[in-house]
Amino acid sequence: MYSNDFLISAYGVRLPKIIYGTAWKQARTAALVEQAITLGFRGIDTACQPKHYHEAGVGAGVAACLTKGLDRSDLYLQSKFTALNGHDPLQVPYDPKANLSDQVAQSFQVSLSNLQTTYLDCLVLHSPLANPQHTLEVWQAMERIFNSGDVKQLGLSNCYDLAQFVSLYQSAKIKPAVIQNRFYADTQYDHALRDFCHQHHVIYQSFWTLTANPNILADAKLQNLATKYCRSVAQIFFRYLSQQNIVPLTGTTSTKHMQEDLAIFDFELTADECVVIDELI
């Protein structure tokens, strides 16, 4: 990836415009992460949630690349704290009887160990908790980690309620630098939420971007653009999002698709073409 393929967050963190997602890869995680980085990915998303992520495998894949001349500072590593109800009861990576603040601290230390690093570029709250006060309590624990210097910025995932996000944003001393949401029609593509993020320099990351949008990918307008640019419809959609400063996650296990995802920066859609795609979302 080149210098133009990155965004700078509100906290001065250099964040790639496309990120490799590591959910549901289990035993293949290390090899796939190593392959993704070798091909050119510089952003890796994971979570301290053994139910869906093999975080230690991510660390192994990263470590393999760091022996090949890559520096830790070349990579953007992002992990998550997952509240108790998001875990398999038999695989909780912290003491489930501890208070929320200690759970966050314990989970973070497990992430550092798993990822074989001394810091994270971003720590994300995997989902708001059912009780808003508990969400704020977790966020304040994350703020303490930020203040310690062990994480460069904080983020929130799976938050689709604008009022809920604004409430946390206004209460937080360390504002969310990132929000990561499923990007699909059921939430009207988070239009109002994305407007707020744009106004407050919060970077919007999208996941399930292709899986949740088969109708968009099948649309004749995208098909025609794919033909014009000699690209896949997935590349057209990812390129459109990157030009809106939306950072898509891709979890592909295909070498070909990894290469195609990284190649979205080799061409640029016109403003009029972006307007055409705007109408689909």
d(CA 177, CA 233): 30
Q: Quick one: pLDDT at residue 157?
A: 98
The whole-angstrom distance between residue 184's C-alpha and the CA centroid of its chain comes to: 16
Give the rounded percent of residues in the chain with a pLDDT score beyond 70.
99
Domain locations in the chain as residue ranges: 3-278
For 207-227, write each residue's pLDDT tens digit: 999 999 999 999 999 999 999
User: Going by DSSP bridges, is the β-strand pair 178-182/154-157 parallel, antiparallel, or unpaired?
Assistant: parallel
pLDDT above 90: residue 114: yes
Q: What confidence category does residue 102 fall into, taking pLDDT thresholds of 50, 70 and 90? A: very high
Phi, psi of 253 (to 5 degrees): -105, 5
User: Going by DSSP bridges, is the β-strand pair 122-125/154-157 parallel, antiparallel, or unpaired?
Assistant: parallel
Q: Quick one: pLDDT at residue 4?
A: 79
pLDDT above 80: residue 3: no
For 46-67, write each residue's pLDDT tens digit: 999 999 999 999 999 999 999 9
For 220-259, write each residue's pLDDT tens digit: 999 999 999 999 999 999 999 999 999 999 999 999 999 9
Q: Quick one: pLDDT at residue 153?
A: 98
Q: How many helices (H) and strands (E) does the chain have?
A: 11, 10
For 137-164, write each residue's pLDDT tens digit: 999 999 999 999 999 999 999 999 999 9
- The topology (CATH level 3) of 3-278 is TIM Barrel (3.20.20)
The whole-angstrom distance between residue 157's C-alpha and the CA centroid of its chain comes to: 8
Q: What confidence category does residue 14 fall into, taking pLDDT thresholds of 50, 70 and 90? A: very high
pLDDT above 80: residue 260: yes
pLDDT above 90: residue 2: no
Amino acid at 255: T
Residue 45's H or E segment, with its range, is: strand 43-45
Query: Mean pLDDT score of the chain, rounded to an integer?
Result: 97
Q: What is the mean pLDDT of residues 121-142?
A: 98
User: Going by DSSP bridges, is the β-strand pair 6-8/14-16 parallel, antiparallel, or unpaired?
Assistant: antiparallel
Amino acid at 265: F
pLDDT above 90: residue 119: yes
Residue 14's H or E segment, with its range, is: strand 14-16
Q: Quick one: pLDDT at residue 69?
A: 87
Q: Quick one: pLDDT at residue 49?
A: 98
For 22-47, write each residue's pLDDT tens digit: 999 999 999 999 999 999 999 999 99
Task: Supply 159's token pair.
Answer: 């938050």
pLDDT above 90: residue 82: yes
Which residues does 235 contact at the CB level (< 8 Å), separation at least 6? 226, 229, 260, 261, 263, 264
Least confident segment among 2-11, 122-131, 155-164: 2-11
Global confidence as pTM? 0.96
| Residue that has been written with the tokens 């949401």 in this structure | 181
pLDDT above 80: residue 123: yes
Phi, psi of 69 (to 5 degrees): 100, -5
pLDDT above 90: residue 134: yes
Dihedral Cα 179, 126, 138, 30, nearest 10 deg: -110
pLDDT above 80: residue 1: no
